[in-house]
Amino acid sequence: TIALMSVENPLEFGVVIIDDDNHIQRFLEKPGWGQVFSDYVNTGIYVLEPEIFDHIPVDTKYDFSQQLFPEMLEQGRPMYGYPCEGYWQDIGNTNQFLRANHDALEGKVQVNIPGIRLKENIFIGDKTNLDSIDNIRGPALIGNYGKISPGAKIQPYSILGNNVVVEDNAETDHCVIDANTYIGAGAKVSGCIIGKNCDIKASATVSPNAAVGDECSIGEHSMISNNVKIYPFKVIEAGAHVFSSIIWEWRALSMLFGKDGVSGLVNVDITAELALKLAMAYGTTLNKGAQVCCSRDEHPASRMIKRAIMTGLNSTGVNVRDLRVTPASVNRFELQSGNAVGGIHVRVSAWHPEVMQILFFEPPGNVISEASERDIEKYYNRHDYRRAFYNEIGQIFYPARTVESYIQGLLSNWDVEKIHARNFRFVLDFSYSSASLIANRLLSKLGAEIIALNSFLDEDKTAIAAPLLETDSSRIQKLVESAGADLGITIDNAAEKIFLVDEAGNDLPPEKTLFLLIRLMAHSKGQGKIAVPLTISRLAEELVAGTGCEILRTKVSQAAITEASMEPGVIFAGAGGGDYIFPEFLPAHDALMSMGKVLELLALSGKPISELMAEIPETTLLHHAKSCPWSLKGVAMREISESVEGDNEVSRLDGIKVFHKEGWAQVLPSPDEPLFEIYAEGDTPEDSEALLERYSAKLDEIIATHEKEG
């Protein structure tokens, strides 16, 4: 017996024709209107005698409605249809699935809806974090342990599973969102289905009738168009516009590493499970018994992730040298001792407190190579981990005198006598970083009078918001001026960058500080190479002219600058963001090393820092970021490359850099975002403006042409 239901539009179903005694006369599978002689359809609900399975062949794909039932009817077997009343939905497509959920909210289906029922059929689950229901319009359901931020909008027929987070200015409408999914700030989710454990990032849009499978990540500012299906475990890159379903494409969790190691939202992208498996993949690439240095910042989330990493390493037979809370530079310096084959540092992003970064290092302290990254990703994606025997499990050691060795390394690379003789007085802001744990034993050797700020750990201020940074900068400026200090130095929370204030309390731009250090290093050393990226002004070459030093141009990435710093003869490297490399000590950014070198170079010059900065000419360099869809970046690069062929000199070391008689321009595709960076430097500000406008217009024209075509 087959349960039948009368429907308005039977074209999408199997139609069943019965007689007055409910005997089935005929089956019509998804007929046209000319064949519709009944509005009764097969609901897929059957009452069967056990012997029916004797008619089903073994190990063969076999369909009940299309094969078994028509054959039985042809054989004259008794078959009946039972017209049912009540509620039924096929839920064979997105619309039907949503309709069934909406009908349940409206009370058309007799189901027990969990939670407390409030006005307008709003159901709120247990322990949901919700300031007010004013931004919720019913009917709607919010499951247990969810979080609805004050600025979020929950529109009618929104159904949110357990542990769903909806951030500020995000909006949900006529949708079903399954458990443990994150809806980022400004995201729009409308008329669609979102699976479990998904990450819908800030300002992303999921359009009506779309469906996103379990454990997908939808990038910032991306858009999923109508009727698109995203199969499970896919990653949609930031800014992508997806117009067709993603089923077998390559972009499924294939790229773990980015410019900041392995990074993502805490407990959304970067979870304890991911950290454990990531460490197991890394450990699988190493020999059993090898040692890896592990360190972290002071945030509890970093502690959680680091513990998972150490467990993963131990499970593969790798030993851990636990450096506990310490700057990444101490971890890197420890790799020079030869005791460890690699290092891992876990920290919260210096600018985004919700973002976690896992950094991997290799001797002598640089970021691991791309080949090593691909090797780790290979084992991670295959889930192919080495598991140590019970007597091979790795151990955890706490190495002695690691910090003391690091301090001694710093002091041996500074001219301490010159610094001591200058009798500096300066303001030093630690930004609550772990560098403050080292400072007392280090700074006492410099003979300076130091006014310290924020010289303790504070897990709530691990990442510095822009308003707080401006407040601290203003405080340093006033302190420097009122105390009659020689300068002010701010160390970022990661203890990798420094920012300077002169004796008059003026902030010194990081770009101009780079040129000051280039000039001072060139004059103090008298020979060697100074590495800077292609995008730095040609003023760099002018500053070293006649000193015996030369400028080495590199690709724009931090990895490229770090790699260049290890080349023979390189004495200094920097990119203009406050992070500098002094490779004689460590081929990596280190705020304490940079601080000491600044003091040494100022002592050697004998001049106030404001006077030295005044001697640095202004540049005409301009920069502009221009959006470009991911799908058009390759086309844009090709067409720009073709258009500049001719009389002009062109460099393709990184992006496209074109030299004109009046200056140069560089078009550089971002590796992490859907945009191009355009740099231009002319002989005059007007030349720079003209070059910038020329290449911006060229890029606009290419994008407009191809968007119109497709």
pLDDT in tens, 578-592: 999 999 999 999 999
Distances (CA, A) of 624 to 289, 665, 676, 682: 50, 11, 8, 15
Predicted local distance difference test score (pLDDT) of residue 346: 98
CA angle 576, 580, 582 (to 5 degrees): 145
Could you give the percent of the chain with pLDDT greater than 90? 62
pLDDT in tens, 538-568: 999 999 999 999 999 999 988 889 999 999 9
- Give 94-242's CATH code, choosing from 3.40.50.9100, 2.160.10.10, 2.40.30.10, 3.40.50.2300: 2.160.10.10
- Give 2-83's CATH code, choosing from 3.40.1710.10, 3.90.550.10, 1.20.1250.20, 1.20.120.10: 3.90.550.10
Per-residue tokens: 489: 């130095």
- Going by their DSSP bridges, the two strands 193-194 and 175-177 should be labelled as parallel
Q: What is the DSSP letter of 508?
A: P
pLDDT in tens, 16-61: 888 888 898 887 776 666 555 677 888 889 998 888 888 888 888 8
Nearest to 169 by CA among 184, 190, 147: 184
CB neighbours (10 Å) of residue 497?
20
Predicted local distance difference test score (pLDDT) of residue 230: 94
Tokens 């959680």, residue located: 304
Q: What is the mean pLDDT of the chain?
A: 90
Residue 323 has pLDDT above 80, yes or no: yes
Residue 253 has pLDDT above 50, yes or no: no
Residue 465 has pLDDT above 50, yes or no: no
Predicted local distance difference test score (pLDDT) of residue 472: 64
Asked whether the beta carbons of 193 and 179 are under 8 A apart, the reply is: no
pLDDT in tens, 347-365: 998 778 889 999 999 999 9
Q: Which amino acid is at 639?
A: E
Nearest to 514 by CA among 594, 445, 585: 594
- The whole-angstrom separation of Cα 5 and Cα 242 is 37
- The whole-angstrom separation of Cα 447 and Cα 260 is 37
pLDDT in tens, 157-190: 999 999 999 999 999 999 999 999 999 999 999 9
Predicted local distance difference test score (pLDDT) of residue 419: 96
Mean pLDDT of 529-533: 97
Instruction: Kindly state the helix (H) or strand (E) to which residue 241 belongs, with its residue range.
Output: strand 241-242
Predicted local distance difference test score (pLDDT) of residue 34: 57
pLDDT in tens, 276-313: 999 999 999 999 999 999 999 999 999 999 999 999 99
Mean pLDDT of 93-103: 91
Mean pLDDT of 523-537: 95
pLDDT in tens, 148-157: 999 999 999 9
User: Domain 622-709: what homologous superfamily?
Assistant: Alpha-D-phosphohexomutase, C-terminal domain (3.30.310.50)
- The whole-angstrom separation of Cα 500 and Cα 610 is 11
Residue 621 has pLDDT above 90, yes or no: yes
CB neighbours (10 Å) of residue 215?
18
Instruction: Kindly state the helix (H) or strand (E) to which residue 272 belongs, with its residue range.
Output: helix 272-284
Predicted local distance difference test score (pLDDT) of residue 254: 40
Distances (CA, A) of 434 to 292, 301, 495, 526, 601: 20, 16, 7, 35, 25
Residue 487 has pLDDT above 70, yes or no: yes
Residue 707 has pLDDT above 90, yes or no: no
Highest mean pLDDT among 1-5, 112-116, 448-452: 448-452
Instruction: Kindly state the helix (H) or strand (E) to which residue 633 belongs, with its residue range.
Output: helix 630-643
| pLDDT confidence band for 90 (50 / 70 / 90) | confident
Nearest to 323 by CA among 402, 440, 404, 436: 402
Per-residue tokens: 599: 């003091």
Residue 710 has pLDDT above 60, yes or no: no
pLDDT in tens, 228-240: 999 998 988 887 7
Per-residue tokens: 342: 């690699």
Class of domain 262-400: alpha beta
According to DSSP, the residues that pair with 165 across neighbouring strands are 147, 182
Asked whether the beta carbons of 574 and 514 are under 8 A apart, the reply is: yes
CATH code of domain 409-614: 3.40.120.10
> Fold match between 262-400 and 409-614?
yes
Predicted local distance difference test score (pLDDT) of residue 102: 94
Per-residue tokens: 597: 């070198």
pLDDT in tens, 327-342: 999 999 999 989 999 9
Mean pLDDT of 430-438: 90
| pLDDT confidence band for 497 (50 / 70 / 90) | very high
Residue 137 has pLDDT above 90, yes or no: yes
Structural domain boundaries in the chain:
2-83, 94-242, 262-400, 409-614, 622-709
Nearest to 434 by CA among 459, 412, 409, 413: 459
